Structure 1
Amino acid sequence: MTLIAIRRRSLVAAAGLLAAPRLARAQEAWPARPVRYINPYTAGGPTDTLSRQICQKMAELSGQQFVVENRTGSGGIVGNQAIAAAAPDGYTVGLGGIATHAIAPTLYARLPFDPHRDFTFASGMWQLPNLLVVNNDIPARNVPELIAHLKANPAKYSYASAGSGTTLHISGELFRAMAGVEITHVPYRGSAAAYPDIIAGRVHMIFDNIPGALAQAREGRVRALGVTSLARSPVVPDTPAIAETLPGFDMTSWTCLCGPAGIPPAVVARIAALARRALETEELKRAYLDQGATAWPTTPEQIADFRAAEEARLAPIIRASGARVD
């Protein structure tokens, strides 16, 4: 090795030693400037409201702004593609969840990202079960009676969803399989569009997110029979879990705080710690319960493992439903 090469290598090593403390300080200081939070769903919806509430709380706790940017399209795929493509410095994070990170890998023939390889997972954010509601003319007051009625009238009834591959759709497919009933899936462009037909009896039931379904049930337009989580929801404690009739039935929407792959571990730890502090405040927990959601802080390792387990659990249900996006 020449003297010039030795000196060049020494200079590079020295530069690295000088840069290391600066990098460490930058990681320890996160967030030292505003953070962009990408919400892959529309402004004004329940997901947007829940996102803005946690961003506001993280901003209060950290002293830095968390700016919500709505990047919609393809059921959350467009926004998560933007998250995956961002610089891995911790200043672009966003919302991942069951639709994009557990259902989409099986539902879509091609995805512009790999849920396992292209993201850094920091924490869970919230869980939100669905509520099974039926047309008032259906002669069933509980889930066992509904199953008996559907078995006595095979292929005569249908259920609505907010679109193929949504948790509303997969809830129906799981119910069909576990209860052994024949019901037809009717997709709509959003659950709100389905209610006029459900109320009129043209479609007979829906497994909808609690906020929308509960509002319809409280007005007496439909009848609530069960929640799709393993246990009863504190929002509707008198409504049984479907799992009380079909043990193991579970279709709970969940979200996570994630960023692009490659965020330094020290920054990931700070993101996770800030999210946990926000989600453990009584103010945010109450705000989430008001909308049917439960605050759900996790460690980075827990949410990464949970995502992988959910993808594996849901894959056979999605394949059996025949849902596929080419």
Structure 2
Amino acid sequence: MNQISNITLQSRLSSLGRRALLSLITTATLVGLAQAQDAYPNRAIRLIVPFVPGGVTDTSGRLIADALSRRIRQQVIVENKPGASGNIGTVMVKNADPDGYTMLLGFDGTLIINPHVFPNMPFDTIKDFAPIGEIGDAATILVANPKLPVKTLMDVINLSKTTPNGLAFGTSGVGGDPHIAGERLNIVTGSKLVHVPYKGGGQALIDVEGGVIPLVYTAVAGAYQHIQSGSIKPIAVSTAKRVPSLPDVPTFIESGVPDFVVSSWVGLLMPANTPPAIVNYMNKALNDVLVDQDVAAKLEKLGIIPTVTTPAEFAKAIKDGLAQNGEIVKAANIKLE
């Protein structure tokens, strides 16, 4: 091989080496970019609220969405998808890709009561969702017209038993937590409370103020201002502990009904088959914002007691609640007309 040929060969080998090196660098860069793109979350997350804007559930969802956006440094966008007592928005999440970018603001009325009162449910609460964690328990309360001759829960129970046709209690509708609570009280105490469903808790509160009905079972958040003004009389809350915003109002348990806890919870869920790593990531982010004093205080003003849970604990609570409510709905023969 002559000198010119040798130089040419070396040049070609050198060129091939540079190309190989450039190829390795390019490959490494692309792999790095792909890994960066795969980091979760790398874009906005939708939070489906299956109710109209403005209610306590919607307000709590927006509060959590805002706090999570700051925590995970990605926007959590609230989308209201109301209809069929929450079923429509819930089905949207069921059918979404399990990639971590669609969440459900889950409400116990939709997830653990609807399956027992709707004849044809479009989702399976246990199979179709991956629970992330509970946000908190929305306290519920039994209130009375100020002129009703009762002071305690036992007074209400006893008066109902001696009143012809029982005592009417209003709620926001058939099959909701307040309705379930009233029927459960009948089952465990023998009280004679007669359900009067309304198309919303607001009108029920107006009617109890005006003496149209003697009792209303409703969310603390909705009743709070009426209680403060003295236009209605608080009887008891059905949470495990007293509500911070109403520290002088006893629980049902304190009032003589053992183990009586009925409250509306809200929480976050994703579609089934969402990777556990994503579920755990969002659970940690949720729990981090729940222990923030500012977030906790805002939730408590809504009548929601912040609750820190693991995905497994939240899943168990859903399963247990589904079974318990099924028994009450069957015993009380609750049906949607």
| TM norm. shorter chain > 0.5 | yes
Kept after mapping to 2: 8 A contact 1:83/1:260: yes
What are the ranges of 5 or more consecutive residues in structure 1 without an aligned counterpart? 1-19
Out of 74, 95, 98, the position equivalent to 1:64 is 74
Out of 245, 254, 271, the position equivalent to 1:260 is 271
Out of 82, 89, 95, the position equivalent to 1:79 is 89
Kept after mapping to 2: 8 A contact 1:131/1:214: no
Distance 2:335 2:222 in 1: 26
How much is the aligned-residue C-alpha RMSD, in angstroms?
A: 1.9
- Cα gap change, 1:224/1:273 in structure 2, threshold over 3 Å: closer, same or farther? same
Report how far residue 179 of structure 1 moved: 2.2
Out of 118, 127, 146, the position equivalent to 2:137 is 127
Q: AA paired with 1:272?
A: N
The reply on whether 1:237 has 2:219 as its aligned counterpart is: no
Report how far residue 26 of structure 1 moved: 5.7
Distance 1:300 1:192 in 2: 34
Report how far residue 196 of structure 1 moved: 2.6
Out of 294, 308, 326, the position equivalent to 2:319 is 308
- Cα gap change, 1:270/1:177 in structure 2, threshold over 3 Å: closer, same or farther? same
Q: AA paired with 2:170?
A: A
Report how far residue 189 of structure 1 moved: 0.3
Out of 117, 120, 129, the position equivalent to 2:127 is 117
Q: How many residues align?
A: 307
What are the ranges of 5 or more consecutive residues in structure 2 without an aligned counterpart? 1-30
Q: Which residue of 1 aligns with 2:217?
A: 207
Instruction: Give the greater-gyration-radius structure (CA).
Output: 2
Kept after mapping to 2: 8 A contact 1:125/1:297: yes
Distance 1:304 1:22 in 2: 36
Report how far residue 85 of structure 1 moved: 0.7
Once the two structures are superposed, residues 274-310 of structure 1 have per-residue CA deviations (whole angstroms, 9 ceiling, x without a partner) of 1111111111111111111111121111111110001
Q: Which residue of 2 aligns with 1:323?
A: 334
Report how far residue 231 of structure 1 moved: 2.0
Once the two structures are superposed, residues 212-254 of structure 1 have per-residue CA deviations (whole angstroms, 9 ceiling, x without a partner) of 1121111111100100112211221110001121011111110
Distance 1:168 1:23 in 2: 50
Q: Which residue of 2 aligns with 1:164?
A: 174
The reply on whether 1:54 has 2:47 as its aligned counterpart is: no
Q: Which residue of 2 aligns with 1:108?
A: 118
Kept after mapping to 2: 8 A contact 1:154/1:181: no
* TM-score when normalising by structure 1: 0.90
The reply on whether 1:188 has 2:190 as its aligned counterpart is: no
Report how far residue 177 of structure 1 moved: 1.7
- Cα gap change, 1:150/1:268 in structure 2, threshold over 3 Å: closer, same or farther? same
Q: AA paired with 1:286?
A: A
Q: AA paired with 1:106?
A: H
Report how far residue 149 of structure 1 moved: 1.6
Kept after mapping to 2: 8 A contact 1:154/1:182: no
- Cα gap change, 1:129/1:23 in structure 2, threshold over 3 Å: closer, same or farther? farther
Distance 1:138 1:24 in 2: 67
Kept after mapping to 2: 8 A contact 1:101/1:115: yes
Kept after mapping to 2: 8 A contact 1:154/1:183: no
- Cα gap change, 1:21/1:90 in structure 2, threshold over 3 Å: closer, same or farther? farther
Kept after mapping to 1: 8 A contact 2:157/2:192: no
**DSSP 3-state at the match of 1:165:** coil
Q: AA paired with 1:291?
A: L
**DSSP 3-state at the match of 1:72:** coil
- Cα gap change, 1:90/1:152 in structure 2, threshold over 3 Å: closer, same or farther? same
Out of 298, 312, 315, the position equivalent to 2:309 is 298
Report how far residue 74 of structure 1 moved: 1.1
**DSSP 3-state at the match of 1:242:** coil
Report how far residue 22 of structure 1 moved: 8.9
Distance 2:135 2:199 in 1: 26
Kept after mapping to 2: 8 A contact 1:119/1:261: yes
Report how far residue 264 of structure 1 moved: 0.8
Report how far residue 83 of structure 1 moved: 0.8
The reply on whether 1:277 has 2:288 as its aligned counterpart is: yes
- Cα gap change, 1:23/1:154 in structure 2, threshold over 3 Å: closer, same or farther? farther
Distance 1:157 1:258 in 2: 38
| Equivalences for residues 89-104 of structure 1 within 5 A | 89-104=99-114
**DSSP 3-state at the match of 1:302:** helix
Q: Which runs of 4+ in 1 moved over 3 A?
A: 20-27
- Cα gap change, 1:60/1:224 in structure 2, threshold over 3 Å: closer, same or farther? same
Report how far residue 90 of structure 1 moved: 0.3
Distance 1:117 1:126 in 2: 23
Distance 1:95 1:25 in 2: 29
Once the two structures are superposed, residues 159-215 of structure 1 have per-residue CA deviations (whole angstroms, 9 ceiling, x without a partner) of 001110011111111122222111211100001011232122221111110011121
* TM-score when normalising by structure 2: 0.87
**DSSP 3-state at the match of 1:294:** strand
Query: Percent identity between the aligned chains?
Result: 29
Report how far residue 131 of structure 1 moved: 1.0
Q: Which residue of 2 aligns with 1:5?
A: none
Kept after mapping to 1: 8 A contact 2:82/2:88: yes
Q: Which residue of 1 aligns with 2:54?
A: 44
